[in-house]
Amino acid sequence: MKTLLLVACATLSLNLSAQNTAKDLFQANEIVWYGLNFTEAKMVGSFDQAMGAGAATASEIKTKWMSAWNGLIIAEPQNYKLKEAFEKESVYYDIGPAEKANQAIKTGELMTPNAFSFADPQKAIKNAVSKMSGGEKNAGIAVTFVVESFNKTMETATVYAVVFDIKTKAILISEKITGKPTGIGLRNFWAGAMKQVIKQIQKEYYPKWKAANK
């Protein structure tokens, strides 16, 4: 029994030591980008589409626009400068887990006319991250934006920039950040807010996180 207990303790110790910490973010050469996670989000107001197409339905936002927003960030790394914001040599794009989780959203609960914020941010973030599985990497440090709301009435997008350990799903860093949407068309308009969020991370939040984790 004592031998079994010692083996169990040794295994637990190894598992704990293998988990990344917040400090590891600043030492790593690469992050894994998991994309925009909308599983806890609300779309506030009317989401008008370009060319007289009318307001997007909850189903259209889920099946078309969420993928469009995620895809644009990957397609235009020169505009959505994740590598620069997180001071990394490379960014590995792996949005499959977020895309799969986003497509499981119940459209009847997605849209609202009222302003929205998480009642319990820590719980919402944990729930959102836990829904992302089956990624291409089974270890490392990942970043996702857990979307709280895209608010058309106020013309603001609010996300939590979340850094987490891929293997354990442990949350290492989370920061609430608001961006102002800009651009023509529904895709570019809200993606413009994500561009602002990334710029804020580069100029303000990443240096703050780094200083706090020396």
59 belongs to a structural domain: yes
| pLDDT tens, residue by residue, 183-204 | 999 999 999 999 999 999 999 9
126 belongs to a structural domain: yes
50 belongs to a structural domain: yes
| pLDDT tens, residue by residue, 73-97 | 999 999 999 999 999 999 999 999 9
14 belongs to a structural domain: no
51 belongs to a structural domain: yes
DSSP string, 120-181: SHHHHHHHHHHT----S-SSSEEEEEEEEEEETTTTEEEEEEEEEETTT--EEEEEEEEE--
Q: Look up the domain containing 105 and give its range.
A: 26-212
Q: What is the pLDDT of residue 16?
A: 42
CA separation (Å) from 191 to 22, 62, 143, 169? 27, 15, 17, 26
Helix (H, G, I), strand (E, B) or coil at 54: strand
Is the pTM value of this prediction over 0.75? Answer: yes
Instruction: Specify the number of domains making up the chain.
Output: 1
| pLDDT tens, residue by residue, 109-120 | 999 999 999 999
Residue 195 and residue 185: Cα distance in Å, rounded?
Answer: 15
112 belongs to a structural domain: yes
5 belongs to a structural domain: no
133 belongs to a structural domain: yes
